[in-house]
């Protein structure tokens, strides 16, 4: 057995985090280097990145198969809020985007959802930065808003369901690869959008 994946004291989410930490850190560094909160113009570019990523994951939130496994999944989708943010900040309707992920198997889909849900947990910091640009949960930064029941509880509900899934070791590794692919997708979007600006 691969001991780097499975230890008795770690939960599935903890193992997934450990397997994807390096890729996640690279993305975080890339986003902060792009200075998305330096101006509203930079923030509009950040929204473009977010819009593309959330268009990629939106079909997963509406998957009946995944919805049976994870609580309130469809209600967690932030694509509509993002589209409204784009219109708030740019003054133009958000373009129609379709998912660029192709068909994902269930473990890989779980990895992508882990990234999307985890980003909401870290959005509290981003919301404070957006507030310095005069944006809020009601205008321009809706997709960064916490859940009414609280970010922590919302995340813990997701984690509890995720940890309770019946996945083989091979499926856990596929979920980790899915999460890495999601982090890489956002990193590529950051490079494309900010470098061509």
- The answer to whether 131 and 110 are in contact (CB under 8 A) is no
d(CA 51, CA 69): 25
Domains and CATH numbers, the chain: 36-195 (1.20.910.10)
- The reported pLDDT for the residue numbered 153 is 85
H or E stretch including 114? Answer: helix 106-121
- The reported pLDDT for the residue numbered 195 is 85
- The reported pLDDT for the residue numbered 197 is 63
pLDDT tens for each residue of 67-117: 999 989 999 999 999 999 999 999 999 999 999 998 999 999 999 999 999
**Region 175-181: what's the mean pLDDT?**
97
pLDDT tens for each residue of 8-21: 568 999 999 999 99
Look up tokens 């470098």; give the residue: 195
- The reported pLDDT for the residue numbered 162 is 96
Whether pLDDT at 167 is above 80: yes
- The reported pLDDT for the residue numbered 1 is 36
């Amino acid at each position: 057995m691969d001991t780097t994946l499975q230890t008795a004291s770690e939960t599935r989410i903890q193992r997934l985090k450990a397997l994807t930490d390096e890729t996640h850190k690279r993305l975080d560094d890339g986003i902060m280097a792009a200075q998305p909160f330096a101006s509203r113009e930079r923030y509009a570019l950040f929204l473009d990145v977010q819009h593309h990523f959330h268009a990629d994951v939106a079909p997963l939130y509406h998957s009946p198969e995944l919805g049976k496994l994870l609580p309130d999944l469809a209600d967690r989708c932030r694509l509509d809020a993002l589209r409204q943010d784009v219109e708030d900040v740019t003054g133009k309707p958000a373009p129609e985007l379709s998912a660029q992920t192709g068909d994902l198997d269930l473990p890989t889909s779980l990895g992508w959802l882990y990234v999307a849900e985890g980003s909401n947990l870290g959005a509290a910091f981003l919301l404070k930065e957006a507030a310095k640009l005069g944006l809020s949960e009601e205008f321009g930064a809706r997709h960064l808003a916490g859940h009414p029941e609280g970010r922590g509880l919302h995340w813990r509900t997701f984690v509890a369901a995720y940890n309770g899934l019946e996945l083989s070791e091979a499926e856990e590794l596929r979920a980790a690869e899915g999460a890495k692919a999601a982090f890489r997708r956002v990193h590529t979007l950051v490079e494309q959008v900010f470098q061509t600006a």
